Amino acid sequence: MELSESPGAVSELLGRPVRDQTGRSLGRVFEVRAEWQGDAIVLAELMVGSGALWRRLRGPGRSARGIPWEAVVEVGAAGIRVHR
């Protein structure tokens, strides 16, 4: 997802539950990681679970689980579904 096209979309991802294709909960999105690609900022990973919350509140110290954006299958009203 290129952030320069829809910067408000990132705030809509935060707090959403993430599940794999079998329905197993992987946690909630607490952070996103993005990177520069040319002149665009592109979403790279969704940071989910308690480790991601810890990093958001306290800084580095615990490992956070990152799910590559390429693994996202669906973003819907009920949450985010990923292929794992």
Domains defined along the chain, listed by start: 8-82 (2.30.30.240)
Half-sphere exposure of 10 (CA within 13 A, CB side): 19
Contact, 52 vs 59, CB < 8 A? Answer: no
List the pLDDT tens digit at each of the 84 positions of the chain.
544 555 567 788 999 999 999 999 999 998 888 889 898 888 899 988 877 766 666 666 556 778 999 999 998 888 999 997
Cα–Cα distance for residue pair 50/21, rounded to 1 Å: 21
- 61, amino acid identity: G
pLDDT of residue 2: 45
* pTM across the whole model: 0.77
pLDDT of residue 34: 87
Which phi and psi (to 5°) does residue 19 adopt? Answer: -130, 150
